[in-house]
Structure 1
Amino acid sequence: MASFHTEYTPLEAIPKLRTELRDSFASGLTLPPAFRIQQLRQLARMCQENKDLMADALAEDLAKPRIEVLSVEVGAIIHRALHAAEQVPEWTRPEKIEVDTPWQKEWDTRLYRFPKGVVLIIAPWNYPLILSLQPLFAAIAAGCCVVLKLSEVAPHYASLLTRLLPQYLDSRAYRIVNGGVPEVTKVLELQWDHIFYTGNGAIARIISAAAAKHLTPLTLELGGKSPVIVDPASDLTLAARRVLYGKFNNAGQICVCPDYVLIPAAAKPKFIAALQDAYKEWFPNGSLESADFASIVNPTHHARLKGLLDRTKGRIVMGGRVGEDKNGRMVRMELTVVDGVREDDALMEGEIFGPILPILEVRDVDEAIEFVRARPHPLVLHAFTQDDDVRRKVLLHTTSGNLVFNDTFMHLAVSELPFGGVGESGYGRQFNKWSFDLFSYERSYVDIPPHVEPGLSHRYPPYDERAMTIMTAATRMKIPTDEVSGGGLEELF
């Protein structure tokens, strides 16, 4: 991973760029569904025709294994962009709204979904391709113009996309800003019609404050400490393999990564042994030098993770070694498991965002649930169990953006379900039509025909008893008694 620096966008060019996009949006360029479909297909074509260059760029930035890039990032964008292109005619079709009130039956009532306008997407470094292009294709489908702020921490990808995007997409509607703190600060001084940010809570607060000055709506895809609850009666070997798979992806540098494990003492030895067995099977010579295991993004993040290992009071039971990349930089770290971690340990101070998995001992599943409830709402809560009573407890007595039973990471492949956080883990939902909806707004349409005027004449003064009777009818509605049947918590499971 050679040192590399992509050319930053001049600060004085950023307001001009935004103005040009506002003019394009005002012209109606992006409104026709045919334009959106063509641009979505072009986005898929860009990824397909340049997949090798993209894999090379991410190998330089993060030492990402090629199979991860092509399957999790490039392939996912191609599939989802083409699906969105197919669905644009349906998503944009005006919806006839049937009204229940008899005297409104002759009104023309519809619902339109229009683009919000010129939107800002701020992408992170950990999955720089999918986390920049996924919100981009959603904004294209919705008919928005887009400024895409790429992460300076993944410079090879940023440089490649800056070169490719204008070759495939219409530059009148879609532009890139590159840079660090000064550039993103300049971008946030401007008014946008929506901001989509993926990253951490500290930066999200800065972005939220900037957006509040313009009353700009936000989508925040954050993270936090996503726990794993292990029922001791579950298949511990399978649970260990699936948890380790979730921690292994991108060396744990992903917001949905299992951050820590809560497991009863009796089940812990078998679970840890299964983690160790899976590690030996996947990495016979260790993960430190393996081409199938990603690097830490840069020495700064590596030092942070090494510091956590140095400060933990837990016991390393797997991995723990650190090393250099081919250029002599300290950015390699083994897939590591730490046992005996307590809630006040250094590893529990914040999101780990790296290949370290703490194991915390709990009395039972109920104590694990209480542990999760006492902390900020995670982006994902994982639980391994085959017991419906345990599933019900976890579902009804915890809060998380996403709830996944008996696996990790793979829920991201289910595009038919919405994805997003709650509370500290963010807000807003994406995937398929939920992504389209993020960048659209619902515009109500009512046309009241002239011939219904006699039925509306009572609204005009001077008011008489007839007007009073008609216009206050709702105040006399019959309210049902409080005797109800059903509707208990069992209805929610």
Structure 2
Amino acid sequence: MQQQLKTIFEGQKAQRQQTGVPSVQERIAYLKKLKYSIQQRESAVFNALALDLRKSEFEAAVTEVYFIYSEIDFAIRHLRHWTRPKRTKSTLSNLFTKNRITYQPKGTCLVIAPWNYPFQLTMGPLISALAAGNTVMIKPSEYSIHTSNIIFEILSAVFDPSLVYCALGDQEISTTLLALPFDHIFFTGSTQVGQIVMQAAAKHLSSVTLELGGKSPVLIDRDTDLQKVAEKVAWGKLLNAGQTCIAPDYLLIQQSQEEQFIQFFQAAVTRFIYKPSGAIDTDSYPKIITPKHLSRLQQLTDDACTRGACIAWKGTGDSKDTFAPTVLQNVPLDSRVMQEEIFGPILPIITYNTLEEAIKFVQDRPKPLALYIFSNSTKTTDHVLKNVSSGGACVNDVILHVSNLHLPFGGVNHSGTGSSHGYFGFKAFSHERSIMYQSKFGLSQLIYPPYTDKGRLLKWLKRLM
């Protein structure tokens, strides 16, 4: 397999050298082929997501498949504008020149996708890479094997391996791919693995886009409608059973509001995913991807309780593939649940007395992928946004900022580097190349040596500066 992957990689390099950069029309044709191949196998994609994560067709459609249709259509609609050279102005040092910024494909790119949104987070970077004119090798997750298999089928049906190749397999395949000198690597996953990817990329000076995660806080101001806030937080926490990189990770709330919030949160969760009988509605609530990940969530809860936290509320329905929504109070800050990204339906609640105290709490921790602020005060919102760094932010809602393809999506420091979606995904897979066209009336000869008689020119330049 190692030699096979190297051969495919070299084939993609050689093919591009022979054929050159694809035209905009060719790239649009690639995107249309991709959409057609997905549409032909749409029901199989829904079935695969149900097998891997027990996603309902509605959740799978909204968060995975239809999301990708929108991204393809968005790229097709805007690609000519994105690829058009951008005019820039001249400065004093280059009068009479024409200056342009053009977008070149980076070359042969690697996409390593995660298991939590296995379809969307594989196809999204692929769309951007094709729009930018690259060749691509893709490694989907071995945990979501059914979705990985249908992705392989979708891509193999319409793309030659010299353009797009999907490599199935375990961690060894990823390690083999990371040893190759890709021009760009796009990785979505944990911060720990992101560090490994960045180290591998550094050996070849490959550029990287890292979409990681972290502990995305929800900061609730005292003047909010707690019932509405609880509903929104519950939806964000339950989406994909909490296995979302921008899920609300923990809550910062005034102590006087804590108990009422828990009551509203419990009511919202019960309404969202429980049947009248009290059983979990498995048509609305996904499963945890593997027993290993399920066991980790239990360990996080046990560790917090051992250190002094208490379970304020826990739903029913724990099983071999389901973890019931859980709310934790009095959580020690050195517990694992406050040190690691949770990636499941556990909600720790931290109380604060003043807004500055809450801001400092977030500032003292690694920068999150998302920041959620609930407040009716513009002054408060602006103050928090100004003083707390995060990859993205959403005011008076959760998660929805990722759905706007006009916005960049990405992290900062521990939560990632670079951006994706729409134009920002196109840029991630493109090199912004500067080009200057000198005119026949250029003045550059004025600065040629010898410099011994340039005193008058230097005084003139100093006045102009």
Corresponding residue of 1:482: none
Corresponding residue number in structure 1 for 2:346: 356
- Bigger Cα displacement from structure 2, 396-405 vs 163-172: 163-172
RMSD after superposition:
1.8
Q: Which residue of 2 aligns with 1:458?
A: 446
Cα distance in structure 1, aligned partners of 2:50 and 2:347: 24
**Which amino acid is 2:283 matched to?**
A
Q: What one-letter code is carried by the residue in structure 1 that aligns with 2:321?
A: V
Match of 1:69 in 2: 60
Q: Which residue number in structure 1 is paired with residue 7 of structure 2?
A: 16
Alignment of 1:381-396 (within 5 A): 381-396=371-386
Q: Partner letter of residue 436 of structure 1?
A: F
Shift of 1:42: 1.5
Aligned length: 460
Residue in structure 1 matching 2:310, options 307, 312, 315: 315
Quick one: which of 150, 163, 166 aligns to 1:173?
163
Match of 1:469 in 2: 456
**Partner amino acid, structure 2, of 1:405:** V
Question: One-letter code of the match for 2:144?
Answer: A
Counterpart in the other structure of 1:305: 297
Aligned partners of 1:179, 1:359: CA distance in 2, in Å?
39
Distance 1:472 1:443, change over 3 A: farther
Aligned positions of 1:6-405 closer than 5 A:
10-28=1-19, 30-101=21-92, 104-285=94-275, 286=278, 288-313=280-305, 314-321=309-316, 323-324=318-319, 330-405=320-395
Q: In 1, distance between residues paired with 2:69 and 2:263?
A: 39
Q: What amino acid is the match of 2:449? A: P
Name the % identity: 34
Q: Is the 8 A contact 2:178 2:201 kept in 1?
A: yes
The code of the aligned residue for 1:303 comes to S
Give the deviation of 1:283 after TM superposition.
Answer: 3.0
Q: Does the residue aligned with 2:372 lie in a helix, a strand or coil?
A: strand
Q: C-alpha separation between the residues in 2 aligned to 1:24 and 1:416?
A: 33
TM-aligned CA distance change 1:20 to 1:471, over 3 Å = farther
The CA distance in 2 between the partners of 1:35 and 1:198, in whole Å, is: 27
Q: Which amino acid aligns with 1:310?
A: D
Partner SS, residue 350 of structure 2 = strand
* Aligned-partner Cα distance in 2 for 1:284–1:207: 40
Tell me by how many angstroms 1:94 deviates.
1.8
Q: Deviations over 1:87-116 (max 9, x none)?
A: 111111122323143x74432322211100
CA distance in 2, matches of 1:133, 1:23: 24
More deviation, 282-291/45-54: 282-291
Is 1:413 matched up with 2:408? Answer: no
Instruction: Confirm or deny: 8 A CA contact 1:264 1:365 kept in the other structure.
Output: no
For 2:416, the aligned partner's letter is G
2:250–2:349: 8 Å Cα contact kept in structure 1?
yes
Contact map agreement 2:279 2:316 (CA 8 A) in 1: no
CA distance in 1, matches of 2:458, 2:104: 34
Change in Cα spacing, 1:30 to 1:331, as seen in structure 2 (3 Å) is farther
Is the 2:393–2:401 Cα contact (8 Å) retained in structure 1?
Answer: no
Is contact 1:338–1:357 with CA below 8 Å preserved after alignment? Answer: yes
What SS does the corresponding residue of 1:463 show, helix, strand or coil? coil
User: What SS class does the counterpart of residue 322 from structure 2 fall into?
Assistant: strand
What one-letter code is carried by the residue in structure 2 that aligns with 1:95?
K
> Are 1:48 and 1:78, in contact at CA under 8 Å, matched by a contact in 2?
no
Specify the code of the residue in structure 1 equivalent to 2:289: V
Give, as a single letter, the amino acid of the residue that structure 2 aligns with 1:469: R
Moved more, 79-88 or 25-34: 25-34
Q: Distance in 2 between matches of 1:386 and 1:320?
A: 31
User: TM (normalized to structure 1)?
Assistant: 0.89
Gaps of 5+ in 2: none
SS in 1 for 2:138: strand
Q: Assess, with a 3 A threshold, how the Cα gap between structure 1 residues 115 and 282 changes in structure 2: closer, same or farther.
A: same
3-state SS of the aligned residue for 1:46?
A: helix
Cα offset for 1:464? 4.6
Contact 2:279 / 2:317 at 8 angstroms: preserved in 1? no
Whether 1:430 aligns to 2:415 is no
Residue by residue over 1:8-34, the C-alpha shift from the partner in whole angstroms, topping out at 9 and shown as x without a partner, is xx2221100100110122123552111
Q: Alpha-carbon deviations, 1:96-143, whole Å to 9, x = none?
A: 323143x74432322211100000010000000010000000000000
Distance 1:352 1:473, change over 3 A: farther
Cα pair 1:416 1:432 within 8 Å, conserved: yes
Residue 374 of structure 2 contacts residue 397 of structure 2 at CA under 8 Å; is this kept in 1? yes
**Which is further off, 361-370 or 112-121?**
361-370
**CA, structure 1 residues 287+293, in 2 after alignment: closer, same or farther (shift >3 Å)?**
farther
Q: 1:184 to 1:283 in 2, by over 3 A?
A: closer
1:289-335, CA deviations, whole angstroms, 9 ceiling, x for partnerless residues? 522100000000001001112222222233354533xxxxx221112
- Cα drift, residue 475 of structure 1: 4.5
Alignment TM-score, normalising by the size of structure 2: 0.95
Corresponding letter in the other structure for 1:298: T
Moved over 6 A (4+): none
* Mapped contact 1:287–1:335 kept (Cα < 8 A): no
Letter in 2 for 1:181: Q
**Deviation of 1:347 (Å):** 1.6
**Aligned equivalents of 2:74 and 2:341: distance in 1?**
33
Q: CA separation in 2, counterparts of 1:125 and 1:176?
A: 15
Conservation of the 8 A alpha-carbon contact between 1:119 and 1:193: yes
